[in-house]
Structure 1
Amino acid sequence: MNIRILGSAATAVALLASMPADAASISLSATVRDFSAAHPDFEDGISGLVPGLVSSTLNAEGNPDFIGAPGAGAISSAASFDQWYKDVPGTNTAYTINLTLNEIAPGSGIFSYANSAFFPIDGVATDTEGRPHNYHFTLELETSFTYQGGEVFNFTGDDDLWVYIDGQLCMDLGGVHGAVSGSCSLDSLGLTVGEDYAFKLFFAERHTTESNFRVDTTILLEDTSVPEPGMLGLLGLGLVGMGALRRRR
């Protein structure tokens, strides 16, 4: 597609708004926090699947609390776990990525993302500690949805994965383990049809050598994607064009 310099910022915004949205996909912004293998919760052990490591509701910061005994699930302590989903200078570095769930067939209402080599900050985080991929990271995703009734959320992957709906834990796949699957039926949570609810997903990749991440869901999650650099550049061109037009006048 050829793009010409736009005459005004308003025209740029109008063009962006008029571009057709892909009704068969949902793009979600997520925060990935990069850790080193020196962190006590990363690389030191393989616990297998361990449910019951985190609180059934989110804390005041909107994060899960570690409620297991020290060392359970290869997690050193509540204090070390508290660093997973917040920015801690000198301990982790945060990056923002987009995950796009595509409808598996037109009109199916099932949206899917699958990656058997899920290393989302490869090439972004420069220090891989001599490994072929950046294996030590957490991912936090937050969005919302309107409950229609009958929705389900399915996940397969490794390592830890917790999903909270309306602040309630509905999927618990904690621990350092190979790819395992879980399912959450929203009908089991006592939600009200037509009401809006918060959706939060917490993931961790803590050990070499695999990282699997697969989502299949019928929840129509709210798009939270961050604008791509090209779109931001297009808007910038509009602003430049408006300035040039004003100077000519």
Structure 2
Amino acid sequence: MNIRILGSAATAIALLASMPADAASISLSATLRDFSASHSDFEANPIAGHVAGLASYTLDADGKPTFSGADGTGNVANAASFAQWYRDVPGVNTPYTINLTLEETAPGSGIYSYANSSFFPLDAITGATEGNPHNYHFTLELETSFTYQGGEVFNFTGDDDLWVYIDGKQCIDLGGVHGAMSGACNLDSLGLTVGEDYSFKLFFAERHTTESNFKVQTTILLEDTSIPEVPEPGMLGLLGLGLVGMGALRRRR
């Protein structure tokens, strides 16, 4: 009988952490950036409604959207203030990383969904809400890739700003401070080639102290980009016992 001995507990932990918890889900790493209400684009004169064309149709050299409106449009002060939304800027925002998991709606359906009508992920991370019921002032940036199969769609419902870019080109534009609204992208309309890999980027902003909705439903098989979570202490103990047991068996042999 051949027994493969893992060299260290760290190796075993890494292997376990890399195993998907559920094959019927897609977990995506996302960057949150926490802003304060004092930022020029957050909370100031918040009622604007949906404003199309705030963000550029294509991404810049850093893979970020740029501001395309006139100064003040959509409650965005200017291009410089908008450039801070999806970049780490010390003294302006604080970045955090979370995993966002899309679950298959039914076994074998190929439809993946995430829905949260109270989407305030920073509440549990920072505990700081500026005296509000939740931490409302933040952006979210998500980047992954996929292999185009043909027939895929991506649907989003939420508030406030939301832009989706596929292959570096905008396919959903829900900019502005507004209530929950929906947008959809039919990938067959984008001129993609079946079997080729393409980038997928999503940019979201919650800018006003009312509600925060975030709902995704898609048939795109997005590449899992989740960051492995540290195993629970109990799991670490079991790993240690398993390694000790394997060592003892090796000595007996």
TM-score between both structures, scaled by the size of structure 1: 0.89
User: What is aligned with 2:40?
Assistant: 40
Unaligned runs of 5+ in 2: 1-5
Q: Contact 1:156/1:182 (CA < 8 Å) preserved in 2?
A: yes
CA drift at 1:123: 2.3
Query: 1:234 and 1:26, CA in 2 relative to 1: closer, same or farther beyond 3 A?
Result: same
Separation in 2 of the partners of 1:69 and 1:166?
A: 26
In the comparison of the two structures, how many residue pairs are matched?
Answer: 239
1:218 CA drift (Å): 0.3
Q: Deviations over 1:3-24 (max 9, x none)?
A: xxx8734761585179565121
Report the alpha carbon displacement of residue 230 of structure 1 after superposing the two structures with TM. 1.8
State the partner residue of 1:144. Answer: 145
Name 1:225's counterpart in structure 2: 226
**How does the TM-score come out when normalised to structure 2?**
0.87
Cα distance change of structure 1 residues 105 and 70 upon mapping to structure 2, 3 Å threshold: same
Query: Which residues of structure 1 form unaligned runs of 5+?
Result: 1-5
Q: 1:1-249 alignment to 2 at 5 Å?
A: 8-9=8-9, 12=12, 16=16, 19=19, 21-44=21-44, 45-230=46-231
Mark the structure with the bigger radius of gyration.
Answer: 2
Q: 8 Å contact 1:157–1:180 — kept in the other structure?
A: yes
Q: Distance in 1 between matches of 2:143 and 2:191?
A: 20
Does the CA contact (< 8 Å) of 1:12 and 1:234 recur in 2?
Answer: no
Equivalent-residue separation in structure 1 for 2:218 and 2:56 (angstroms): 24
Q: Structure 2 CA distance, aligned partners of 1:225 and 1:116?
A: 22
- Seen in structure 2, the aligned counterparts of structure 1 residues 97 and 17 have a Cα distance that, compared at 3 Å, is closer
| Deviation (angstroms), 1:127 | 2.3
Are the equivalent residues in 2 in contact too, given 1:151–1:218 (CA < 8 A)? yes
Change over 3 Å in CA distance of 1:81–1:236 after alignment to 2 = farther
Deviation at 1:46, TM superposition (A): 1.4
CA contact (8 A) 1:34 1:125 kept: no
Mapped to 2, the partners of 1:171 and 1:18 lie a distance apart of: 32
Quote how far apart the aligned CAs of 1:194 are. 0.4
CA distance in 2, matches of 1:217, 1:101: 9
Distance 1:113 1:220 in 2: 14
